[in-house]
Homo-oligomer: A and B are copies of this chain.
Amino acid sequence: MSSDKADIRNDGKSTARGKVLERRRRILAAIRDAAIDEFASKGLVGASTQAIAQRAGLTKPQLHYYISSKEELYEDILVYILDEWKEIFISSSAGDTPEQIIRAYIHKKLEYGKRNPKASRLFTAEITNGAPFLSRHLAQYQASTQEAVALIRSWVDQELIRPVDPLLFQMHIWAVTQHYADFEVQIKSFMQIGENEEFDMDHVEEEVVTLFLRACGLK
Residues of A within 8 A of B (CB): 41-46, 121, 124-125, 127-131, 135, 138-139, 141-142, 145, 162, 164-165, 167-169, 171-172, 174-176, 178-179, 182-187, 189-192, 203-204, 207-208, 210-212, 214-217
Question: Do B175 and A179 have beta carbons less than 8 Å apart?
Answer: yes
Question: Do B217 and A145 have beta carbons less than 8 Å apart?
Answer: no
Specify which of B46, B128, B185 is in contact with A46 (CB 8 Å cutoff): B46
Known: A139-B189, A142-B189, A167-B191. Is A162-B121 also a contact (CB below 8 A)? no
Interface majority SS (helix, strand, loop, mixed), chain A = helix
CA separation between A216 and B190, bound complex, in Å?
Answer: 21
CB distance from A209 to the nearest CB of B (A): 11
- What would be 7 A-B contacts, judged by CB atoms less than 8 Å apart? A124-B124, A127-B186, A131-B185, A131-B189, A165-B207, A169-B211, A179-B179
CB distance from A102 to the nearest CB of B (A): 13
Question: Do A128 and B175 have beta carbons less than 8 Å apart?
Answer: no
Question: Do B131 and A128 have beta carbons less than 8 Å apart?
Answer: no
